[in-house]
Chains A and B, each alone.
Chain A
Amino acid sequence: MVNVCKCQKEFKERCTQCAAVSWGLTDEGKYYCTSCHNVTERSKEVINTGAIPNTKIQAINRGLKRKRKLERGWDWYVCEGFQHILYQQVEALKTLGVGPELKNEVLHNFWKRYLQKSKQAYCKNPVCRRKVTVLEDNQSHSDWDSEPELLRDFSCPSFAESGTESQPDGLAQKPFPISKASQSETASICSGSLDGVEYSLRKEKGIVKMTVPRTLAFCYLSLLWQRETVTLSDLLRFVEEGHIPYINAFQHFPEEMKLYGRDKGIFAIESWPTYEDIYKKMIEIAKFLDLPRFPDITEDCYLHPNILCMKYLMEVNLPDEMNDLTCQVVKMTGVGEVDFLTFDPIAKMAKTVKYDVQAVAVIVVVLKLLFLLDDNLEWSLSNTAEKYNENNKEDKPRFDFRKWYQVMKKSIDEKKQEWEEARAKYLWKSEKPLYHSSIDRAVAFKRREMVVDLQKQFSTLVDSTPTVGRKKPSSFQFNWAEGDAARTCFHGHSLQGILQNKGQSLTTKNSLYWLSTQKFCRSYCKHVTTYEESNFSLSYQFIINLFAFLLRIKTSFLHEEVSLIEKRLFKTKYSKTKKKSSRSRKGRKY
């Protein structure tokens, strides 16, 4: 150890590998970097023989240290891993334009609350420490640069320890207490983290265990709290497009946070997050954290159906005029009311509105009111609109469902194809291969190397057509332009001819309506209804498929939501529905 200090005085250049200035001597008298073991060509001139016993000590010391480094890296806990992922995610959200309070106040607090509720920190006897003998002589000054800022304010267990270890000064050479060493050795068999094995076995009633999908639930909860302009489907789409770290998020952990063994099962993800799943997890976490009622969703919030409907009308290229109708449906069904929209986890039946799905369902209902979507009326209305447009080229064009369908069908098919191709080509494996134990390590790395090699070889053979670079994050997936025949914009088209004046109000010309669901499921299976595609008209199928793809949800999921809106809209009809035929006559006045 004396030697190290001496060396430091003599040789002060930065290490070429890690830029640290911390030099030791090898047996041959060459300088090596104590933090990354890069051996230089420079050697120390042996002045006297007195240095020899010292180098011996150094050599032994180095041997131990190197072994430890190779297999273990820092000591860290599983919850720190999740914290790191959350940190990355929230940083990504920040770059997407979300306000900084989201990270510093909201998510931070949620996470603190989670650690406390799950008894991992901020409590007397944290779970992850129970079996670990904690260092007594804990030097708790940490200047770890890459430490997530989020963590600064609270001392999650072991951060101080890992901090000490990375210190490039003489303190790092301090021998480890025996109790600790034995602990790390046993742990190193099955996981890189200290409590990976224990964590994956842990099962406590009433405790929501952290998983990678739940990090997204946390993100969404914070977004919801902040009433940000990001819906759950947007969030998941950003994940899918790679704007928010999720799959292989662990590969951005600091180099010294080694993952293997059980950590693999905890952090490696081989599936995309699904709407339903994250939605459920979000409610579950909100209840577990015992969160109070969320800030009110009022009419000026992005998540209010009126605004979301407008957004989705634009997205799917429907006339702006339809917005009046959606607003009326929202009003009649009461889905725009604050109490309905605001999430209250403490309420008896905690559930939150699927804002995006609901807004889209409202649009579907409006389309049904206007065009009936029975594979008949919409086409005959299109014929009249087409004729009218031909004869009155100067006028504001009337909305032609057929034309719209053609444009949308083409665009959505292209998008879908692109999406499917991207999915088929998605590279799941991280640059850092995960392995089960140190025995596997070499194999896993070798395998990775081989895959990379092969990929390199084939990448020269790939079609040279310029692949569209990573899509810029946007809440819109389509871009409609006037003048471009393939992407005709229908926003400005009018609904004249579909609506008619009746006294002072406008009424839909079409006075028929059919209900998407006749009977609601009353059992405890949790879903309201089922969606058997072939039972429905082709137009309805198209519309449902279109929106379901936009939100990346299952068609049945949207169909359910449509049925729920209809249930609210036609309350009276539903009570009599048992006697009525499948097609209920209903004229609606506006």
Chain B
Amino acid sequence: MIFSTLEHILTHISFSVVSIVITIHFLTLFLLVDEVVGLYDSSEKGMIVTFFCITGLLITRWIYSGHFPLSDLYESLIFLSWGFSLIHMVSYFKFKKRKNNLSAITAPSAIFTQGFATSGLLTKMHQSAILAPALQSQWLMMHVSMMVLGYAALLCGSLLSVALLVITIRKAIKIIGENNNFAFSFGKIQYMNERSNVLLNTYFLSSKNYYRYQLTQQLDRWSYRIISLGFIFLTIGILSGAVWANEAWGSYWNWDPKETWAFITWTIFAIYFHTRTNTNLEGVNSALVASMGFLIIWICYFGVNLLGIGLHSYGSFTLN
């Protein structure tokens, strides 16, 4: 009995801490108190607390139910929010010196998934269920954890690309709106397309544009790195799933809806990487592809489960 109460406590602590962190971020955004380092520090500590809470939650569930906590939709959602907080932790500790923009993406993602999981929509799934025979395998740990971690990283990366698109489109709308001279707008288009420092030095005309350019460049690079990492996890997840399917059901690929959509996600991100090889298409076009990827991941992870058919029906749920 202690385990379930412990679980409850941890869930509530993590949820409330993340809400506080979100509130702090919004405060800094709206009240423009960027320089208040104390607030930033406490939000970082809040994320650390959240990370440990969710880890504790998962471990408690593991011990209590006897199987790795990834057998149904509720547990995979908790795992997904754990993945987000893990990415946040890693990027925080790697780049302690500079202020990290990534937390603006990971913190809300963690809270939204955590909130959805603990919300009233899925109340009947909170208890740990027993494992069907097909799921009693060592492959469960590797396949599902890799897939969910891959989804977490890819979601982060595609959100960063969406942010890049938003900034770029707002800038583009401004350019069209402003009636500038040709050289000025030409210059802006130049540095949107080029990565060269030389052109930048000769063409940008205001410091505001320079900071925005820095921001888009940073977003672009970060999203590239994180999507690469997520792609590796996704590849390993899909392939280990195929090997598991071969061991359990006799065939490594069944064109099951979930498998097919995971493959579609993989293909879209492969397209993302290929668009980046050509420097022309870098920047905005690859960000477009990554944003498509965001939608596709949600269809793959959630939409297919709503159908509830196929070999992956363990993850299904009905909205009641």
Do A and B actually bind? Answer: no
